[in-house]
Amino acid sequence: MSMIIAERLGLAVWVKDLKAARSLGRMGNIHYVSKRLKYVFLYIDGQKAEQTIRKIERLYYVERVQRSLRRELSTEFHKLNQSPTQ
C-alpha cells in the first residue's frame, strides 16, 4: 500500500483578532500562532491554494496573506571551503 503525500503550501496570515483566527484551522493545518505579532502560520493543500487564499483574504479579521517562499529557495548546498586535510 503506497501513501500519496499531498503537496502543501505555507501561508503567513496577518490578523486583527487572534480569537477569530482560530477558525483558520478549517482552511488548513495551523502550525504556529504569534500573539505578539498577530499572525498565524498554516499549511494548506497546494492544489487548492488559489481558491483557499481568496477565501482567507475575504475574512473580516484578515489583514493580509503572504505565501511561503520556501519552494523558491535553493536547497542544494556545496562545500565552498574544503580543508586540505580531507
CATH code (residue 24): 3.30.70.260
Structural domain boundaries enclosing 25: 8-67
Per run of 10 residues, the mean pLDDT along the chain (length 86 residues) is 81 94 93 95 93 96 90 69 58
Is 78 among the domain residues?
no
How many domains does the chain divide into?
1
**Cell numbers at residue 10, please?**
505555507
Determine the Cα–Cα distance for residues 24 and 78; give it in Å rounded to an integer.
39
- Do 65 and 32 form a contact (C-beta atoms < 8 A)? no
Burial of 54 (0-12, 13-18, 19+ CB in 10 A): exposed
Is 18 among the domain residues?
yes
Is 3 among the domain residues?
no
Nearest to 30 by CA among 83, 16, 15: 15
pTM higher than 0.85, yes or no?
no
Is 49 among the domain residues?
yes
